[in-house]
Every structure is written in structure tokens, then in C-alpha cells.
């Protein structure tokens, strides 16, 4: 199980899982292959929009796709990447929700959907996030981009680097809000799902904003103070049970786009629509995909994996070391299998040889259903163990002698 230790024995533990939820990771999570009945169910959906995709968020499992890798203009769905970078900066502490952002002339000049910021106007990061995620403010997006990166184009460079990191192979951005009419600004339904999943998984606080239906901000300028109402552009918030986000978009080039997130019975789905012919069809197609997914999916989460024994360490400065699971195991079933029949098998070396580093692989727990492996979670050493040298043994001998 790695160059740092010799596997002198395999400790196997088989446990029949009781029903319920548990703890571990999706280090390797699988879903059953699509059968004929599932394919027929997908065909029956009749999604009019040319590009669509449905993804289960926790595992990344794709449940439905149509033209999912076709490159299209995303319009304001672009702002998902913008918001992802904003939350990354908040996480790093380089900006704070209470920080004031000054609107530039460039930000003020944005057309399309906007919250009518004036040049020199100050708003907090928290307020601008609200403007972006509720009312899809182009001016608010540019103001935040400039605040973080100095210029919008430098921020866009960061957006493209992040897209590459996420494996968004059919994506290239030229602005931070999606207002552009350039052919060089494009993404795909699959890539939208990838960045949506990254945002909602890493930063669930985004739902504090995307679930706002209506709110008010205050403009304070040289002309005085005035209230401005925000209204959410995602109409599924009111029409679809369980909808909690995420972002709409529409331009003459992009037509009508949407990344919708909904949650029911601990299952969270991402429904992406691109180039819908009209707004009504966009929302109806997204809802159809969500209905399809919630009707098929059951999620197994192992919240109580087997207790891990300590491992002996040969020639180490300590005799044993603790182990830990790399994360949580999740399995998404779409075929109505009996998840109570999932079995676990612990594969773990009884002994390791120093030096050992925290995070190195020590074994894995394997999950089986119907005798077939459906996934596994790596088991890691929990702490560093240094190799014992001459001085260590000399000190131990001296301590024994003194006793």
C-alpha cells in the first residue's frame, strides 16, 4: 500500500450494513449503469432546449445529458464563476463581507441587468453579492471583479485559470458578467454543472443569497439616499418545491439559460439548461429534469464506518499510530437496489515501517453490493512517525538503565 511500509498481513473485516446514513467519502463513488428502462425514461423527458444536463451534486453523477458539451454563450450564468472567485477570496480573508467597494466608471457603464450603481458609490461586499445573486447585477459583478483583481480583465484571467483547474474543457470567458456578444465567451451545460457543484459544495453560504426572493438595498450618492428593490430572477424559487438556487441568464445570443439547484430528502440536484427558446421553457425544462432525478435517485451515505485499529510501526519513534478515513463514502442508486445489502470490507496493513507521513495511504475500506465493488475510501495515517535513529535507541537504553 505504498513504499513507506511493508504489508505483513491483511486485516479483513466484513460488516453487513444496517439501513440508515453514515460517515466517510466519495473517494471512489459509482452509480449503476444506465439500463434500457432508464434510457427510455430519459427519452420521455422531451427537453426542448438544445443543451441540458442533470447532475447529483454530492457525487457528481450525471443523470441526464443532451448536447452537454456543446459550446454556447452562457449569458449571466457566467456569474457563477465570478461568485466562486469572490467566495474564495472571502475564505482566504483577503476581503471581508463588510468591506466597502467603490464603483468605477467602467462598472457603472454596464448595461443589461443592473442595480444602477453610480460612479464613486460605495457598497459592501455582502450587498454586492446580493445584487449579483438576486438581481444579476452586471455593474455589481464588475465592481467586485475590479475590487479583487484591480481590473476586470485580470479577474477574467483568474476565471479562466479556475475553469482550467476544474476541468472545464469547453469554457472560455472574456468578461465577468456574461453581457458580452463575443463568440470567444462560451461554456457548456456540463461545465456549468462543474462550476455550480464547486460553488455550492465548497461554499454552501451562497444559498443565503440565492434563496432571497425580494430585498432592498440603499444607494447613497451625492444626490442623496434612495432605496432600490431587488427581485430574484430565478422563478423556480417560488414554483418548484425544494429549489434553493442558483443562477439565470439570457441575452439575444445565449437565449435563455439556467443552473437550478434543488434539494429533497438529502439529495441535491443541479439542473442546467442552455439556449432555451423562451423563459417559460427554460424553467419548465429544468423542473422536468429535477422531477426525473428525484424520482430515480436514492443516496447512501456511510456516516459510521468501521472503527479503525492502530497500526504497529517498525523502527519508529513511537510503536503504534492512529489511522483515519480520507473522507465520506456516498453511493447514488438509480435502479431501486436494496441499499441495506451494502457490505463493507476493511483492507488494512497490520504493520508499517517508519518513516510514516500523515496522509499517506495505509489501506482502504471497500463497499460491495451484490458481490460487486461499488466504491472505496482510502485509509490514511493520521500522524507523522519518524524513523528511529542511533540517538533514539541510545536514549531509550539510558532511560531503561535509570529505571
- Reply yes or no on whether 51 is catalytic: no
Q: What is the pTM of this model?
A: 0.81
- Reply yes or no on whether 231 is catalytic: no
Task: Give DSSP secondary structure letters for 375-400.
Answer: EEEEEEESS-BPBP-HHHHHHHHHHH
Structure confidence by residue, pLDDT tens digits, 111-159: 999 999 999 999 999 999 999 999 999 999 999 999 999 999 999 999 9
Structure confidence by residue, pLDDT tens digits, 351-364: 888 898 999 999 99
Which domains can be identified in the chain, with CATH numbers? 10-24+303-392 (2.60.410.10), 47-295 (3.40.710.10)
- Reply yes or no on whether 252 is catalytic: no
Q: List the beta strands (DSSP E) in 278-353.
A: 298-302, 311-314, 320-321, 323-325, 329-333, 343-349, 351-353
Let me know: does 211 contact 260? Beta carbons within 8 Å. no
Catalytic residue among 49, 51, 58, 76: 76
Catalytic residue among 58, 113, 136, 250: 136
Alpha-carbon distance of 271 to 275, in angstroms, equals 14
Which residues contact residue 400 at a Cβ distance below 8 angstroms, ignoring those fewer than 6 apart?
Answer: none
Structure confidence by residue, pLDDT tens digits, 55-85: 999 999 999 999 999 999 999 999 999 999 9
Catalytic residue among 49, 58, 66, 79: 79
Structure confidence by residue, pLDDT tens digits, 302-348: 999 999 999 998 888 888 899 999 999 999 999 899 999 999 999 99
Share of the chain above pLDDT 70, in %: 85
Three-state secondary structure string covering 47-72: CCCCEEEEEECCCCCEEEEECCCCCE
Amino acid at each position: 500500500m505504498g513504499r513507506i511500509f511493508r504489508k505483513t498481513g491483511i486485516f479483513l473485516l466484513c460488516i453487513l450494513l444496517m439501513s440508515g446514513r453514515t460517515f466517510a467519502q466519495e473517494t471512489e463513488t459509482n452509480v449503476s449503469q444506465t439500463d434500457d428502462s432508464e434510457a427510455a425514461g430519459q427519452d420521455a423527458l422531451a427537453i426542448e432546449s438544445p443543451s441540458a444536463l442533470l447532475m447529483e451534486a454530492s457525487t457528481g453523477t450525471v443523470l441526464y445529458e443532451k448536447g452537454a458539451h456543446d459550446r454556447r454563450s452562457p449569458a449571466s450564468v457566467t456569474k457563477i464563476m465570478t461568485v466562486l472567485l469572490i467566495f474564495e477570496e472571502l475564505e482566504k480573508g483577503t476581503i471581508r463581507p463588510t468591506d466597502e467597494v467603490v464603483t468605477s466608471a467602467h462598472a457603472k457603464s454596464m448595461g443589461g441587468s443592473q442595480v444602477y450603481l453610480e460612479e464613486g458609490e460605495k457598497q459592501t461586499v455582502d450587498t454586492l453579492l446580493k445584487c449579483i445573486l438576486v438581481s444579476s447585477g452586471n455593474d455589481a459583478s464588475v465592481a467586485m471583479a475590479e475590487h479583487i483583481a484591480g481590473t476586470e480583465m485580470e479577474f477574467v484571467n483568474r476565471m479562466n485559470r479556475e475553469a482550467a483547474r476544474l476541468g472545464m474543457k469547453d469554457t472560455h470567458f472574456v468578461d465577468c458578467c456574461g453581457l458580452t456578444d463575443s463568440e470567444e465567451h462560451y461554456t457548456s451545460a456540463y461545465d456549468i454543472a462543474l462550476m455550480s457543484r464547486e460553488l455550492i459544495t465548497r461554499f454552501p453560504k451562497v444559498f443565503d443569497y440565492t434563496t432571497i426572493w425580494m430585498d432592498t438595498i440603499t444607494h447613497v450618492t451625492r444626490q442623496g439616499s434612495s432605496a432600490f428593490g431587488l427581485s430574484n430572477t430565478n422563478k423556480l424559487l417560488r414554483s418548484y418545491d425544494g429549489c434553493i438556487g442558483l443562477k439565470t441568464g439570457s441575452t439575444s445570443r445565449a437565449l435563455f439559460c439556467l443552473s437550478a439547484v434543488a434539494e429533497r430528502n438529502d439529495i441535491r440536484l443541479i439542473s442546467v439548461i442552455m439556449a432555451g427558446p423562451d423563459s417559460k421553457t427554460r424553467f419548465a425544462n429544468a423542473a422536468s429534469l429535477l422531477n426525473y432525478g428525484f424520482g430515480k435517485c436514492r443516496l447512501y451515505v456511510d456516516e459510521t464506518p468501521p472503527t479503525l485499529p492502530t497500526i504497529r510501526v517498525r523502527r519508529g519513534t513511537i510503536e503504534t499510530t492512529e489511522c483515519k478515513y480520507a473522507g465520506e463514502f456516498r453511493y447514488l442508486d438509480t435502479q431501486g437496489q436494496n441499499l441495506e445489502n451494502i457490505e463493507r470490507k476493511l483492507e488494512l496493513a497490520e504493520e508499517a515501517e517508519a518513516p510514516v507521513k500523515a496522509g499517506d495511504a495505509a489501506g482502504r475500506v471497500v463497499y460491495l453490493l451484490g458481490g460487486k465493488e461499488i466504491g472505496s475510501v482510502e485509509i490514511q495515517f493520521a500522524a507523522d512517525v519518524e524513523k528511529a535513529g542511533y540517538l533514539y535507541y541510545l536514549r531509550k537504553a539510558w532511560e531503561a538503565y535509570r529505571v
